[in-house]
Structure 1
């Protein structure tokens, strides 16, 4: 069809479709009927063109990539069927397609409403803060679902929508919490946002092994749809989508908060890596097929990987990221003792998931997923960032940069050089090209924080950081005893922290996390001005449990200066 240069070529293509339809009647799908109808229209074979379009709109038992009405009502239809637009039959089919479209979206909305349906549980009615904390830990308003597959609409802003597709395990029950795995597609610059998705487009083809092993391991699969502007790699406009989708999904089904994972291929793998670098808190583990391990919206602060893990499945014939660079990256990961593993597959190109030989990689992925859990309260955190939007990691949040100051001696930049890159020449042969490029870029000044806690004592070191919030959980400290906070060797806080009902509600509404629950927080300003010198000469008590000392200022829901 694509090689045809004249009507003879189009006729040969149409004959091929007609022979296939007769030989394999059970395999006729909407895409085939659509292409055959376009060919027949180009050949002025209007009778056959209308026959194929009629079959396109006929009800079918099996799923298709797209419903029949989408082809007739698409923006391309007027050009593809231009010779048929004045025929009465075309108007008849268009009206039928409009009716089908209306029915389709009504059913879609009905299924989405059913997906989000839960029992009424009003946490606002719980007055006691400790009781509220326990209620959130045991929160389970979920209902049995009627389907396994749901296409869910997602608002990017007031005028732009996309969708994510949810595939539930067989026998899903709200009595059990499930691991959840996001898959981020590649080729973001060549994709468009869609307001619905189908099982056929997500669960088969390149994703067939996700489906197979998710089935065996009772894992919920989620497939978001990105575009050139709104995605998980570049620019930053769509980076909020995956964390927001997580929150929405948690409203509907019983997800294990400590077993949320993210994977992807190509641009999608780079996206998974970017969440590890910029916003890892909701996730337990990260995976990538043919990954380009770099943040494209700012600096790549590689030591952030030490807060989680990454498994990369690479190939030796990949134009996207070359094997020599993967070797250097692995050496860097070993040097910082990161939980990082690379599995190299020889003799395969960038589109590795297309091949059956990729199945062994999925076995590795799901074996890791089955045993890995997020630690919601790690005793040590190291975090570097160059954008205040991403100044949060687990129990440290709202970290604000102070890039006007010089960085600390321990605040270092890690990078390496790439000297060879693979690319395809004009003969479609893979060749090696000499290059001289840094693995990572650092376009902005960054801040960094290192923190640890034990026995009710927090010790924090900062570099280019102005302020931060320290979130508290009873799983981290003994709330009956006083907490001490030291920043850069100075005591900033010494006092007890109580359960705060409003704070608990605010943070549960923010992230819907039933495992990482904060009961209160300590907000700390790190200041070194002459004004602060006056402040630190005083120690004062604002109530029986909060004592202010040194240069720190504790703020609850109000500022104390």
Structure 2
């Protein structure tokens, strides 16, 4: 028995070692390819790939075949190029790689295989690839349709309003899912699409409400939108610890795909995507509305911070690795943090945002008593999530997800904005600016100076650059509101605000009694409010939030 156990363990070790050695060797081949300046360098890289194929035939993957075929094409070794292209194109999409047809009819195929375009074998491969693409998208649609399938459910607009409110709160038309991972097509507009990947807990049950964590990727300017997401690309690599701890804690993961123009940082064109994706997801699976979170790395962490600053209402908390804590599309209004929370994981060798600036930022947030926490990891560069040493950060995130819960009806709100698209926070909505008015005395600007910045020199050595820059920019005038309620009484102060609305929930006030509203110290409203059936349904349809159901909206004009 011990002999066979030892033999099995040895075999496992051999297979694992083989895969690791294959990966190591093909990585070196890729680096050689990048550094190559002529055919001699390309031939050396191709030889390295072929040696890896020979020694580890069971480890050959699509990426290896792809790079080898490109190299052979560049070297005008046509037979060898097709030798690697033929099995590559036949590869089906799976959790480890892209479907083979993408290599032949993808955007870069004409440039990468320019030497093969006149070969009859190329046209044959292309025709088969087009058929494979058609079947791929047909299957993808079937999977997406299954993801969005729910029980027949509708609300009777003539229903008693109390009953309608209860039905909305308890709306749960969900079905079991056949898969754990779903790539979902997302319409950015009438002509542009992207996608997001949903990773469900292994034993997802439609009657259980689950926390959701969005992960926003970095390098948005170097990414392109994609109609579909591959599982390994999102769940492995730098994201491996998100997957590990999400699975341990039964948290749904969502991985959106952004690009240069449509993303979560800058410009503002794609900022709507995450809330809209959340709305779609809530239609398909049972989400705990009070436990939706956002995390990210680099540009993605800046995106997470931007949702905290501009549109936090649907979310409970925010996280970021190597964050640049600044809004790049307008003003950065730090006191908005007080409506939610942020946990940042920084490193001392980060060129993206320097440690001295992180220190000043932490001091600033402490001064306003914001729920902001920073964890510093020394000895690591900007790409911290790549390292195994980053793993201790993830239990911090998932323990916070476990214990943190959004209050859908906060007793106090402080909100500042300079773009009316983001004039909404919890039960205050539709804020309109009046920037011709003077600011209230309590409407202050918070900022600080950054004096040192880390940068890499031409020798890839990290150096300190002395700078004199403001942490935040304020390109437009802003408006601000401070609001609170207790025992059917609302007290609201405004600065540069023209109008807004107060959304009412029966969980905030006693509907049977009068509601009083004081605006800047003066009584503005003193009447009863009642359920507005049409508003209830329209509002639920716009956000699918079962925990934050408004029954009446009171318009206020200053």
Q: Under TM normalisation by the shorter chain, which class is it?
A: over 0.9
Larger CA deviation: 116-125 vs 369-378: 116-125
Aligned to 1:218: 250
Distance 2:108 2:470 in 1: 43
Q: Normalised by the size of structure 1, how large is the TM-score?
A: 0.92
CA shift at 1:59, angstroms? 4.1
Between 18-27 and 516-525, report the one with greater CA deviation.
18-27
Matched, 1:158 2:190: yes
Q: Which residue number in structure 2 is paired with residue 426 of structure 1?
A: 458
Q: Which residue pairs with 2:432 in the alignment?
A: 400
Quote the residue 2:38 is aligned against: 6
Indicate whether 1:22 and 2:54 are aligned.
Answer: yes
Cα distance, 1:54 vs structure 2: 1.2
- Which residue number corresponds to residue 409 of structure 1? 441
How do 1:301-380 residues align onto structure 2 when only pairs under 5 Å count? 301-380=333-412
Per-residue Cα deviation, 1:318-358 (whole angstroms, up to 9, x for no partner) = 01110000001111111000111000000000000000000
Deviations 1:259-287 (A, max 9, x none): 00000101110110000000000000000
**CA shift in 2, pair 1:509/1:55, >3 Å:** same
CA RMSD of aligned residues (A): 1.2
Q: CA offsets per residue over residues 193-220 of structure 1, 9 Å max, x none?
A: 1111110110000000000000000011
Question: What corresponds to 2:201 in structure 1?
Answer: 169
Displacement of 1:60 after TM fit? 5.4
SS where residue 186 of structure 1 aligns?
Answer: coil
- The equivalences for 1:31-110 within 5 A come to 31-59=63-91, 63-110=95-142
Deviations 1:93-134 (A, max 9, x none): 111111111111001111111111111111135521111100
Task: Please identify, of 289-298 and 32-41, the stretch whose mean Cα deviation from structure 2 is larger.
Answer: 32-41
1:199 aligns with 2:210: no
1:263 aligns with 2:312: no
1:278 counterpart residue number? 310
Residue 87 of structure 1, CA deviation:
2.2
Equivalent in the alignment of 2:164: 132
Q: Please say which of residues 2-11 and 50-59 is displaced more in the overlay.
A: 2-11
Please report how far the alpha carbon of residue 159 of structure 1 lies from its aligned counterpart in structure 2 after TM superposition: 1.0
- Residue in 1 aligned with 2:270? 238
- Cα distance in 1 between the residues matched to 2:116 and 2:439: 69
Whether 1:486 and 2:518 are equivalent positions in the alignment is yes
Which residue of 2 is the match for residue 458 of structure 1? 490
Query: Structure 2: how far apart are the matches of 1:215 and 1:117?
Result: 24
Shift of 1:15: 1.5
Q: What secondary structure sits across from 1:260 in the alignment?
A: strand
Q: For 1:400, what is the secondary structure of its paired residue?
A: strand
- Given that 2:90 and 2:101 are in contact with CA atoms closer than 8 Å, whether structure 1 keeps it comes out as no
Per-residue Cα deviation, 1:285-333 (whole angstroms, up to 9, x for no partner)? 0000000101111111100000000000000000111000000111111
The farther-off stretch of 35-44 and 98-107 is 35-44
CA distance in 1, matches of 2:90, 2:306: 44
Partner of 1:536: none
Instruction: Give the helix-richer structure, 1 or 2.
Output: 2
Q: Residue 237 of structure 1: SS of its match in structure 2? A: helix
CA distance in 2, matches of 1:12, 1:410: 68
- Whole-Å Cα distance in 2 between the matches of residues 521 and 5 of structure 1? 66
Counterparts of 1:126 and 1:73 in 2: how far apart (Å)? 54
Summarize deviations over 1:24-54 as a string: whole Å, max 9, x none: 2232221111111111222232222112111
How far the C-alpha of 1:8 sits from its partner, in A, is: 2.7
Cα distance change on mapping 1:439 and 1:197 into 2, 3 Å: same
Secondary structure of 1:123's partner?
coil
Could you tell me which runs of 5 or more consecutive residues in structure 2 were left unpaired when the two chains were aligned: 1-32
Distance 2:472 2:498 in 1: 26
- Cα distance in 2 between the residues matched to 1:231 and 1:98: 30
Match of 2:218 in 1: 186
Question: Aligned with 1:163: secondary structure?
Answer: strand
| Partner SS for 2:556 | strand
Question: Which of 260, 266, 270 is matched with 1:228 structurally?
Answer: 260
Q: Is the 8 A contact 2:360 2:448 kept in 1?
A: yes
Structure 2 counterpart SS, 1:281: coil
C-alpha separation between the residues in 1 aligned to 2:551 and 2:57? 62
Distance 1:106 1:318 in 2: 44
CA drift of 1:427 comes to: 1.0
CA distance in 2, matches of 1:320, 1:273: 15
Q: Would you say the 8 A contact 2:212–2:292 is kept in 1?
A: yes
TM-score by length of 2: 0.93
- Name the SS for the 1:270 alignment partner: helix
In structure 1, how many angstroms separate the alpha carbons of the residues matched to 2:228 and 2:197?
8
Report the counterpart of residue 5 of structure 2 in structure 1: none
CA separation in 2, counterparts of 1:392 and 1:320?
Answer: 30
Structure 1: gaps spanning 5 or more residues: 527-561
Residues 436, 61 of structure 1: alpha-carbon distance in 2 compared, 3 angstrom cutoff: closer
Structure 1 range deviating more: 261-270 or 6-15: 6-15
